[in-house]
Chain A
Amino acid sequence: MDKALKKYSPIFVLPTLAAFIIGFVVPFVQGLYLSFCKFITVDNASWVGTGNYRYVFTEPSFRHAFGFTVSFAVVSIILINAGGLGLALLLTRKLKGTNVFRTIFFMPNLIGGIVLGYIWQILINCILSLAGKPLLALNSTAGYWGLIILMCWQQIGYMMIIYIAGLQNVPDDIIEAAQIDGASDLRTFISVKLPMIMPSITICVFLTLTNSFKLFDQNLALTSGEPKHMTEMVALNIYNTFYARAGLQWHGYGQAKAVVFCVIVILISLIQLTATRSREVQQ
């Protein structure tokens, strides 16, 4: 079978491989190289060594963007997963209208980040102005919490679906056995259900973590970094370094930031995956 299939390798592998090389491999390798260069287009790059990186690590706006992203990520990961798991527990209790609730809670996922950001900008600005507070463009605290509310609104439904699938996979006989042994609902949840849905927790934390770190559309649409880059997350900071400034050096700085960002996202994902994977139990 191997041999017969190998003869057909151009048909099976080549289309995807060619597109993957054009769409990912070449841009990635070029990006790595260009982070050590000064350039306007890919063709007129001149080598500057580690200069871009030395600049990037000392730039205050990039550092601030990182701090902002981390504090946003921590709070939103906790809230989204707690909310998603809570809803999943309620919706697996065979309550009335479960299907309708599930449909409604999942819906915001289908709306794109740009549109979502704009809807919430209108809503939050109206509430702020009725409360006599400064609007989003001048109010970084409101921008921070606005982003968190927006992300919860969008992502809780998605995580809920994954947790529901996880909870439905817990065998009934284990739960019955726990109840016969006299375990309360809370005890059953902590000692039986929670360890059994560890794979779902792994994937949900992974998804919320990478989504929060890579967040761009919602950030651009809701606050676009206002006021004065105070609510700018890393992805938007890199975008602005590339496209919002004039001058020969900025593309190189932007690319170096992107490499630093990429390395950090990969490291954090790896650490998180190994940490939660080790807590999973075999069914």
Chain B
Amino acid sequence: MEKRRKLSDHIWTIILALLAVAYCYPVFMILINSFKKERAIGTGSIFKLPSKETFNGLAHYVSAIESQGFLKSLGFSLLITITSVAAILLFCSMCAWYITRVENKFTKALYYLFVFSMVVPFQMVMFTLSQTADKLGLNRPFNIWIIYLGFGAGLAVFMFAGFMKSIPLEIEEASMIDGCNPIQTFFLIVLPILKPTLVSVGVLEAMWVWNDYLLPTLVLDIRKYKTIPMLIQYFRGGYGKVAMGPMMASIMLTIIPIVIVYLAGQKHIIKGVAAGAVKG
């Protein structure tokens, strides 16, 4: 019995390994082709490794960085993601605390409104939202976080409130009796307890904002500001033949930082996703 179990485990490991290779293949294909000369990237030769004649070194990467404004887009994407996630974490945790600790009709209605906003498809508000953002001047990379705060509030408040219900009230009451005002209580007592949830919410919202395409396309002025997803879409939507080499190099340049961040913080990211689902 024990031996048979072992054998089947080996078979499963081999199957999983094959599946893992297949999983990596699409990205691997882009990677090898980004090192080939332009004429060697065709339907017939796309599955071949670069040879001595077709190897192009880092030339496509250099041209992608130099010509397509890649670094600028990287900067915009970073700026938007960091400001939006920071604002969501700070303001939504404060709001969620108020909603869970002060129980009245207003907070209850607000809570259900936040939950409702999570289900509504973006197409419902995309046109009116872009017009509102234009009118209020919220259409630049340094203040678009206000829009993201409003649109990301649903998930964040929902997850924070779910966790806060499990924090014993006594801890907070004790700190109030000791003379803390609510602001001190929140930042000195509640926020440190909230740390695991802050990581979960931060991971989920960062994945969303970083990869979001439609919202920044509609809100930002595309001639001046392109985030990375906008750059990729703009690049291939252009007229004439798309240069495949620099295109693939750009794709790799967008994937590599994500993979590095993921490998560095994968424990938190995977935990964050799992915890986020349990709260739902």
Interface residues in chain A, defined as those with a beta carbon under 8 Å from any beta carbon in chain B:
1-2, 4-9, 11-13, 15-17, 19-28, 30-31, 34, 41-42, 87, 90-91, 93, 95-97, 100-115, 118-120, 122-123, 125-126, 129-130, 153, 158, 161-162, 164-165, 199-200, 203-204, 206-207, 210, 213-214, 216-217, 220-221, 234-235, 238-239, 242, 251, 254-255, 257-259, 261-262, 265-266, 269
Contacts and interface: CB of A to CB of B under 8 A. Distances in A.
A158 B273 CA distance: 8
Interface in B98-146: 98-99, 101-103, 110, 113-114, 117, 119-129, 131-132, 136, 138, 146
A231 B82 CA distance: 35
A217 B212 CA distance: 9
In order of increasing CB-CB distance, the 10 nearest A-B pairs are: A23-B150, A112-B211, A19-B150, A165-B274, A27-B125, A27-B128, A16-B95, A19-B149, A12-B98, A27-B129
A258 to B, nearest CB: 5
B258 interface: yes
A115 B138 contact: no
Contact of A22 (B99, B110, B146, B176): B146
Interface stretch (B20-28, B49-57, B191-199): B20-28
B181 interface: yes
Given A1-B173, A115-B251, A126 B13 contact: no
Contacts of A101: 16-17, 20
A111 B255 contact: yes
Interface string B23-51: 11011011000000000000110110000
A4 to B, nearest CB: 6
A206 B244 CA distance: 38
A34 B121 contact: no
B183 A258 contact: no
Contacts, number: 268
Contact of A5 (B102, B266, B274, B275): B102
Given A16-B94, A114-B229, A123 B101 contact: no
Nearest to B136: A22
Contacts of B244: 122
Contact of A119 (B26, B95, B280): B26
Contacts of A235: 121-123
A5 B181 CA distance: 8
The winner among A16, A109, A254 for most chain B CB atoms within 10 A is A16
Given A12-B94, A161-B270, 18 more contacts: A4-B176, A5-B101, A13-B99, A13-B110, A17-B110, A20-B149, A22-B136, A22-B146, A28-B120, A93-B9, A110-B207, A112-B211, A119-B30, A199-B278, A206-B280, A257-B123, A258-B121, A258-B126
Nearest to B41: A122
A153 B25 CA distance: 11
Contacts of B121: 213-214, 235, 258, 261-262, 265
A158 B127 CA distance: 30
Nearest to B46: A126
Interface in B40-90: 43-44, 46-47, 87
Given A16-B157, A119-B30, A214-B122, A242 B149 contact: no
A24 B125 CA distance: 7
28 contacts: A1-B169, A1-B173, A9-B102, A13-B95, A19-B149, A20-B113, A23-B148, A24-B154, A26-B132, A90-B16, A104-B23, A106-B266, A107-B259, A109-B207, A112-B212, A112-B213, A114-B232, A114-B233, A115-B211, A115-B251, A118-B251, A123-B26, A123-B29, A161-B277, A162-B274, A203-B280, A261-B121, A265-B120
B43 A28 contact: no
A8 B280 contact: no
Given A5-B182, A20-B114, A206-B280, A153 B120 contact: no
A90 B212 CA distance: 32
Nearest to B98: A12
B183 A164 contact: no
Given A2-B101, A24-B125, A118-B251, A108 B23 contact: yes
A118 B236 contact: yes
Contacts of B259: 107, 110
Contacts of B129: 23, 27
A238 B122 CA distance: 11
A240 B101 CA distance: 45
A210 B87 CA distance: 26
Contacts of A265: 119-121
A271 B205 CA distance: 27
